[in-house]
Amino acid sequence: MEFHDNYPEYEKMSNHDEAYGKKARRTLWNVFWIMLVITIVELIIGFMAPSKGWSGTLGLKVLFIGLTIVKAAAIVLWFMHLGHEVKFFKYVVLLPYAIFMLYTIFIVLTEGTYSGEKEHYTQTRQIPLEDQLAHKKAHGGGHHGGGESHGESSHEGDAHH
Amino acid sequence: MGQSVEIDTKEAWGGGQSPFRVSYGKMMMWFFLISDALTFGGLLTAYGFARHKYADQWPKAEDVFTHFPFVEQHLPLAYVGLMTFILIMSSVTMVLAVEAGHRMDKRGVTVWMFWTIIGGATFVGSQAWEWYHFIHGTDVGSLRDVFDRETGTYVRQVVHGANMTVNEYGNYDVPQFANFFFFITGFHGTHVFSGVVINFIIFMNVLKGTYEKRGHYEMVEKVGLYWHFVDLVWVFVFTFFYLL
Give chain A's end-to-end CA distance (angstroms, integer).
78
Instruction: Output the CA–CA distances (angstroms, integers) from residue B110 to A98, A105, B215, in the order listed.
Output: 36, 42, 16
Flag if A118 and B53 touch (Cβ within 8 Å): yes
A140 domain-assigned: no
Into how many domains does chain A fold?
A: 2
**Calpha distance A37→B93 (Å, rounded):** 18
Higher pLDDT, A138 or A80: A80
Q: Evaluate whether residue B59 is within a structural domain.
A: yes
Q: Chain B residues with CB inside 8 Å of A144's CB?
A: 66, 74
Do residues A75 and A95 share a domain? Answer: no
Please give the distance of CA A128 from its chain centroid, rounded to a whole number.
33
Q: Could A132 and B239 be called an inter-chain contact, meaning their C-beta atoms sit closer than 8 Å?
A: no
**Are B160 and B146 contacting, i.e. CB atoms less than 8 angstroms apart?**
no
How does pLDDT run across A81-104, given as a tens digit for each residue?
998 889 999 999 999 999 999 999
Q: What's the confidence (pLDDT) of residue A161?
A: 35
Which residue intervals of B103-181 are DSSP H helices?
Answer: 106-136, 175-180
- Name the minimum distance, in Å, from the CA of B120 to any CA of chain A: 16
Tell me the ipTM for this assembly: 0.86
Q: A14 contacts in B (CB within 8 Å)?
A: 1-3, 102, 216, 218, 221
What range defines the domain where residue B198 resides? Answer: 24-243
Contact B140 A118 (CB under 8 A): no
Kind of pairing between the strands at B142-148 and B153-159: antiparallel
CB B166 within 8 A of CB B175: yes
Owning domain of residue A50 = 17-84
Residues A102, A74 within the same domain: no
Cβ atoms within 10 Å of B214's Cβ, excluding its own = 13
Digits of tens for pLDDT over chain B (244 positions)? Answer: 445 556 666 666 666 777 788 888 999 999 999 999 999 999 999 999 988 888 888 898 888 888 888 877 778 788 998 999 999 999 999 999 999 999 999 999 999 999 999 999 999 999 999 999 999 988 888 888 888 889 888 888 899 999 998 899 988 888 899 999 999 999 999 999 999 999 999 999 999 999 999 999 999 999 999 999 999 999 999 999 988 8
Tell me whether residues B232 and A42 touch, CB distance under 8 A.
no
Query: The pTM is what?
Result: 0.87
Inside any domain, residue A66? yes
A95 and A59 inside one domain = no
The answer to the question of residue B16 being in a domain is: no
**Position B192 in a domain:** yes
